[in-house]
Structure 1
Amino acid sequence: MTAACFPRLPWGLGLAGLIPFLALSSASWLAPMAWQVIAVPAFLYYSAVILSFLGGVQWGVAMSLESDDSGGFRSRLALSMVPSLIAWPALLLHPVIGAWVLIAGFLLVRLHECGKMSRELLPVWYQSLRNVLTAVVVVCHGLVIWRLAYG
């Protein structure tokens, strides 16, 4: 894959964004109990922020790549609000349920990004990056859920 197909900066930033997911999900298992009590809510809060950020990405796509009089523009702007409307209430729920809601949010965003309308606008490297990021994020949520429900 050439540098044009695999831009380092977005991949580096995207992978760096996984550090809190990896560190906090690990801490929910490995840290002393007093730290685990902090790690789980911190994980959920970070997750909600990142899910909301993904809505912002869609807002930016609409603003820069869609004609402002098109149906795609209107629907993408409306859909860009959904991740925040999933993320914020997830923080008000029991942590296990909230983590499941956040997983659903990440998967819904990814499903939207894989749709024809998004595939036509988003670069291939973005799709590849989001596949990796979403997979890691879902696994980290699974670890936190497992810790809370069965650990």
Structure 2
Amino acid sequence: MTRIPMAPLVLGLAGLIPFVWGAATYINAPLANWGAGALGSRFVGPYVQLFYGSVILSFMSGVLWGFATRASGSQAATGYALSVIPALWAFFMTGGGPTTAAMNLIFGFLGLLVLDFAFSQWGLTPRWWMSLRMLLTTVVVACLAVTVI
């Protein structure tokens, strides 16, 4: 594993805040009440996690698309095709209530990690990419699991 540069690490960790906040407000009623009053009910518990998780899966589709531009021929075509999967997954699989949506987001983020690995193996990502993605995915899945359990 390669050392993650400071900017992507700090920004990646900052991107975890809505997931951690959602898990914290899901298990702590006084915090959830405060958050709902101060920020609105959409920004606490599973609601913030599910909406933000859908946004991040869509964002990651764009990141993978960018990596695919570094390929050529059939590998590029495969990369482009695979890159749209996380956004489509988020679009089609996050309905059905908070538990089902959180479970489907967990599967989406784990599937994204598989795609990250493939793009990394193809040499399309920075060397540190998998170190960052493993860290972030672990936290995201753990936070979403709070909603599922």
TM-score (norm 1): 0.84
Alignment check: 8 A CA contact 1:91 1:98 kept: yes
User: Matches of 1:145 and 1:76 in 2, distance apart?
Assistant: 31
Aligned to 2:107: 104
- Ranges of 4+ aligned residues in structure 1 off by more than 6 Å: none
Tell me which amino acid in the other structure corresponds to 1:126. W
Residue among 62, 68, 91 paired with 2:68? 62
Residue-by-residue CA offset, 1:3-56 (whole Å, 9 max, x unaligned): xx4311011100110011101111111134653964221210001111111111
Deviation of the 1:66 alpha carbon: 1.2
Task: Answer yes or no: is 1:141 the counterpart of 2:144.
Answer: yes
TM-score (norm 2): 0.85
Greater mean alpha carbon deviation, residues 25-34 or residues 38-47: 25-34
Unaligned runs of 5+ in 1: 147-151
Deviation of the 1:106 alpha carbon: 0.6
Aligned to 1:21: 19
Residue-by-residue CA offset, 1:84-106 (whole Å, 9 max, x unaligned): 11112233222111111111111
Unaligned runs of 5+ in 2: none
Alignment check: 8 A CA contact 2:94 2:105 kept: no
Tell me which amino acid in the other structure corresponds to 1:103. I
Tell me which amino acid in the other structure corresponds to 1:77. Y
Q: Percent identity, aligned pairs only?
A: 39
State how many pairs are aligned.
140
Aligned to 1:149: none
User: Matches of 1:97 and 1:72 in 2, distance apart?
Assistant: 34
| RMSD of aligned alpha carbons | 2.0
